[in-house]
Each structure stands twice: as C-alpha cells, then as structure tokens.
Amino acid sequence: MHTPKRVVQVSVDVNVDTDGTVTIDCNPNPAPIIKDTKHALLVFTLNTPGFRFPVANAITLDQAVEDFPYDSWTISDRQAALYDRNKVADTIDYTVTVVNATTGQHHSVDPEIQNGGTSPGDGDC
C-alpha cells in the first residue's frame, strides 16, 4: 500500500513583457491528483514580487464540481489553497487570479487539475 500525496504544490509565476503584457504560468499544469488520493489540498504559491493573490476568489472553478465543495481561500498575499475530494477522475478547468500590488489590476490564467478519482467501493474514510 502506498501513501498518496495529499498536498499538491502549484507554483505561480507572473511575467511582464517590456510592452506591459502580463502572462501567468502555473506549474505543474495540469496539477496532478493521483488516483485514490482522498481529501487532497492544492496549495498555490505566488513567486513573483509585486503581485499578490486577491483576498477572495484567488482560485475559482470554471464550472461547479462536486469534488470541490468549498471555495478557495487566500492564506496570505502569496499563498492560496483549494480542497479537492478527488472522487471522480476528470480534468477540471479553473482560473488563477493575481493582483498587481501597485496598480490593483487583476490578471488571470486558466490552467487545469487532473483528478485521478477513487477506486470503486472506496468510501470517504
């Protein structure tokens, strides 16, 4: 029997081109939730100075999914988290939003979570 990885780290990096274009990279993308990992926590760490996560809705699902019964929460300016039950194998689209700490402008990107799901007959315990 293996111990599943219950905390999945996602690194968030913001790049600003010389013309002012902002791009956001999330790594890994998709964020992998291994099969039979129940009650996983995705932890997003923002690595770029000058940007922060918004107080609410830093991480949002593009569509409601039962595996994600709670909204994300912002732990600090540079860290946010999202709970995943990982019951159903699926690819889930979500949005990461960051805020320019100087201008207050919001920027976002749409990466994916790859849920491995739970084996048939496996309960919530």
Q: What gap in Å lies between CA 113 and CA 124, rounded to an integer?
A: 20
Contact 85, 69 (CB under 8 A): yes
- Reported as a single tens digit per residue, the pLDDT across 109-121 is 999 999 998 877 5
pLDDT at 54 over 70: yes
8 A C-beta contact, residue 32 and residue 8 = yes
β-partners of residue 22 are: 16
Strands 112-115 and 106-109: unpaired
In the chain, what are the domains? 7-115 (2.60.40.420)
- Does the global pTM surpass 0.95? no
Which is higher by pLDDT, 91 or 5?
91
Residues 67, 79, 20: CA angle, nearest 5 degrees: 110
pLDDT over 80 at 51, yes or no? yes
